[in-house]
Amino acid sequence: MEYTDLEKIRLQKIEKMRAAGDEPYPTRSNPTHTLKQATELFKEAEAKGDASPPEVTLAGRIRSLRAMGKLAFCHIEDSSGRLQLMLRVNELGEEALNRFKENFDLGDYIEASGVMIRTRTGEVSLQTKDFHMLAKAITPLPAAKDEVIDGEVVRHATLTDPEVRYRQRYADLAVNPDVREIFRARAATTRALRDFLDSRGFLEVETPILQPIYGGAAAKPFVTHHNQLKQDLYLRISFELYLKRLLVGMLDRVYEIGRDFRNEGVSFKHNPEFTQLEFYWAYADYLKVMDLTEEMLRYVSQEVLGKTKTTFGGQEIDFGGSWRRVELRQGLLDATGIDIDQHRSDAALEKAMRDQGLKPKPNQSRGKLIDAMIGDFLEPNFIQPTFLYNYPRDISPLAKSKPGNPAVVERFEGFVGGMELCNAFTELNDPLDQEARFIEMGRAYEDEDEERHPMDDDYLRAMRYGMPPNGGFGMGIDRLLMLLTDRRSIREVILFPHLREREE
RNA sequence: GGCCCAUUAGCUCAACUGGCAGAGCAGCUGACUCUUAAUCAGCGUGUUCCGAGUUCGAGUCUCGGAUGGGUCACCA
């Protein structure tokens, strides 16, 4: 461990303190109030004309420091806010004031007691009578100074290097208050989702993350191994197949909020582990799920932001109204001039795309070609909340076909801000059809071993006991957070996003 | 994985065509009893991401590598 010069100076201060019998890391701290409470207490006393100002003991981290000959000011901060300490030689004596000036640095935790007052400039402050170190910071926080403009703390020359911010998230959070706000919004979002679903009779459950057979999505899994059982296990890529087993078990409205893992590329909207909400709703179909989705996001936005509108990448997005609904066939016809219903085979659709001047990848299935067109021509333009519905069957092996049109399934995806946010369908509950689809998928993915959809016999057995008709729904919570907090990278809304390991 | 860009002091950034690596903040020393990006005087603290090469001389040019960002590919 190599210390920098700045760190060496602080280490010397620790030695000096210890030599003087002054513990830089005492075991206990006993603040009587948060900084916000202390400020409010003073303001109430002041309003009542109370002559004796409140006495308090406060704890926090030093964020600014201004020391004069016989007087020093500093701001301390806790999670409730910030407050100024005034340290005067009159109250403390010369020895104590010098001890403060010599030993305390930005970033240190301090406990201080005294009386709440207003300074001559009118700032509510603690007239400090006693203080001691709670925890000495050896490494200086990577921010220089801050100021308060209209009640907002503005840090000057703060930490901005994304790599350091993500790898040392603790430093990022300590120094950038707006980053802390993202994660408060994140907690508020999951709380609001739970409130919403709980109040509609949904039961929150937990299903296995370690699975002997993965499924529910087309993605490459992470593989791990159970030593004693001598068994390979997969980290789940979705919750779907377990949650739907619960419908068979008469838990007819269930949801889970948890982590999914996909062994694929990382990008501004993909992290190898991400948080997903899925719910399954017996006796509902994809149309009812659409309505509930609108309602749910309206509620979440209102709870988290206090309004239904959010700004994302400079564009205003409104969750207040009904979502635009675009039928997949019509949407693609309008965008590309291709009517997918007129091109029923892989080769026919590929040719139609070439005729329109598009450059489809060769030998793709019809469903994959359609999916590619959605990504290129529709998704980027769906800024306002939009449902795209009625998908091709071959890319939707767990969705139920439309009555009278077996090539199309009752599925929708929700897009907001040009990103896919959620995916839902009328769930396939016919065990014979499901078995046929698994076999079909197995064949389709023969060449790509890793993405192949394994046959899940236990899931089929469950379904044979009888699964109620139901609507299912999945949504990426991280992407929702990006929308609500106006962040263009998924890494901004994940506390510890995955980065490549670095040799030290 | 391909391509493009970036990496310089603790943080944020400079350094024209190759010519002694330097600012602000913080830090150190001193002054200062109401400051608040405190002020004033003084002090530059460095493996210029790493490794080779070209050159009298490389932060700068060439090659290889690392990490990050962007983009494309991938991604139901």
Nucleotide nearest A171, from its CA to each C1': B11
Average pLDDT over residues A48-60: 88
Lookup result for tokens 């994959």: A368
Nucleotide B14 C1' to residue A193 CA (A): 49
pLDDT, mean of residues A422-442: 91
Stretch A38-56: mean pLDDT: 88
- Is the CB atom of residue A307 positioned under 7 angstroms from any atom of strand B? no
pLDDT tens figures, A292-336: 999 999 999 999 999 999 999 888 999 999 999 999 999 999 998
A499 within a domain of the structure (yes/no): no
d(CA A475, CA A415): 11
At A126, which CATH number?
Answer: 2.40.50.140
The Cα A368–Cα A380 span in angstroms is 18
SS3 A150: coil
Closest nt by CA–C1' to A158 = B11
Question: Where does a domain end: A88, A109, A140?
Answer: A140
ipTM: 0.88
Residue A472: CB less than 7 A from any atom in strand B: no
Residue A165's nearest nucleotide, by CA–C1', is: B68
In a domain, A243, yes or no: yes
Is residue A367 one of the residues assigned to a domain?
no
A115 and A189, same domain (yes or no): no
| Strand B interface, A 199-258, C-beta < 7 A | 216-219
Find the mean pLDDT for residues A198-206. Answer: 97
Q: Residue A501 pLDDT > 80, yes or no?
A: no
Mean pLDDT within A15-37: 95
Residues A16 and A92 in one domain: yes
* Separation in Å: B73 C1' and A484 CA: 29
Q: Which nucleotides of B are covered by protein (CB under 7 A)?
A: 1, 9-13, 24-28, 31-38, 45-46, 66-76
Q: Nucleic chain B: which protein residues 166-195 of A have CB below 7 A from it?
A: 166
pLDDT computed for residue A451 by the predictor: 52
- Would you say residue A202 lies in a domain? yes
pLDDT band at A3 (very low <50, low <70, confident <90, very high): confident
Q: A3-7, A94-98, A263-267, A363-367 — which one is most confidently predicted on average?
A: A94-98
pLDDT of residue A346: 87
How many separate domains does chain A show?
Answer: 2
The DSSP annotation for A31-78 comes to: -SS-HHHHHHHHHHHHHTT-SSPPEEEEEEEEEEEEE-SSEEEEEEEE
Is strand B within 7 Å of residue A371 (CB)?
Answer: yes
Q: Based on the domain organization, do A299 and A422 belong to the same domain?
A: yes
Domain boundary among A140, A159, A187: A140
Instruction: Clarify whether residues A108 and A219 are in a common domain.
Output: no
Q: Do residues A396 and A488 share a domain?
A: yes
* Whether residue A280 is found in the same domain as residue A402: yes
Q: Does residue A206 fall inside a structural domain?
A: yes
In a domain, A101, yes or no: yes
Residues A228 and A135 in one domain: no
User: Binning pLDDT at 50, 70 and 90, where does residue A215 land?
Assistant: confident
Domain that holds residue A262: 179-323+384-493
Mean of all residue pLDDT scores within chain A: 91
Predicted local confidence at residue A363, as pLDDT: 79
Kindly determine whether the C-beta of residue A4 is less than 7 Å away from any atom of nucleic acid strand B: yes
CA–CA dist A126, A118 (Å, integer): 8
Of residues A215 and A501, the one with the higher pLDDT is A215
Q: Which of A140, A162, A197 is the last residue of a domain?
A: A140
A102 with A219, same domain: the answer is no
The Å distance, CA of A35 to C1' of B42, is 38
Average pLDDT over residues A40-63: 90
Residue A101 sits in the same domain as residue A210: no
The pLDDT confidence band at residue A357, using thresholds 50, 70 and 90, is: confident
A251 and A133 housed in the same domain: no
Question: Residue A424 is part of a domain; what is its CATH number?
Answer: 3.30.930.10
Asked if residue A58 is part of any domain, the answer here is: yes
Clarify whether residues A391 and A460 are in a common domain.
yes
A122 and A189, same domain (yes or no): no
Instruction: Give the phi and the psi of residue A51 in degrees, each rounded to 5.
Output: -75, -40
- Integer Rg of chain A from CA: 29
In a domain, A201, yes or no: yes
